[in-house]
């Protein structure tokens, strides 16, 4: 089963939690967006939460559910 990818992204000075380009929730603080993103990612495992910086670049990620390491192949 493929992992669902959720993102915390900047949006006009605020923060959105998105999935496949759709906004799931809108927040004034990044910390609130990250909390909401963690909740939705944990509820929909296997999943991944990708958090972006205010300039839109990658900051860090968390994986929830089955994440075999090392990957096969």
Neighbours of 68 (CB within 10 A): 6
Mean per-residue pLDDT of the chain? 93
Phi-psi map region of 37: left, alpha, beta (phi>0 left; psi -120 to 50 alpha): alpha
**5 exposed, middle or buried (CB, 10 Å; 0-12, 13-18, 19+)?**
middle
HSE value, Cβ hemisphere, 13 Å, CA-based, for 59: 14
- Residue 57: what pLDDT? 98
Neighbours of 37 (CB within 10 A): 27
pTM listed for this prediction: 0.89
> Quick check: helix, strand or coil at residue 68?
coil
Domain boundaries, the chain: 4-64
What digits encode the pLDDT tens for the residues 20-51? 999 999 999 999 999 999 999 999 999 999 99
């Amino acid at each position: 089963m493929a992992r669902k990818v959720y993102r915390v992204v900047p949006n006009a000075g605020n923060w959105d939690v998105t999935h496949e380009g759709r906004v799931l929730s809108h927040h004034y603080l990044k910390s609130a967006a990250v909390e909401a993103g963690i909740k939705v990612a944990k509820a929909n495992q296997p999943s991944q939460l990708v958090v972006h910086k205010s300039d839109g670049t990658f900051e860090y990620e968390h994986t929830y559910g089955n994440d075999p390491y090392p990957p096969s192949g």
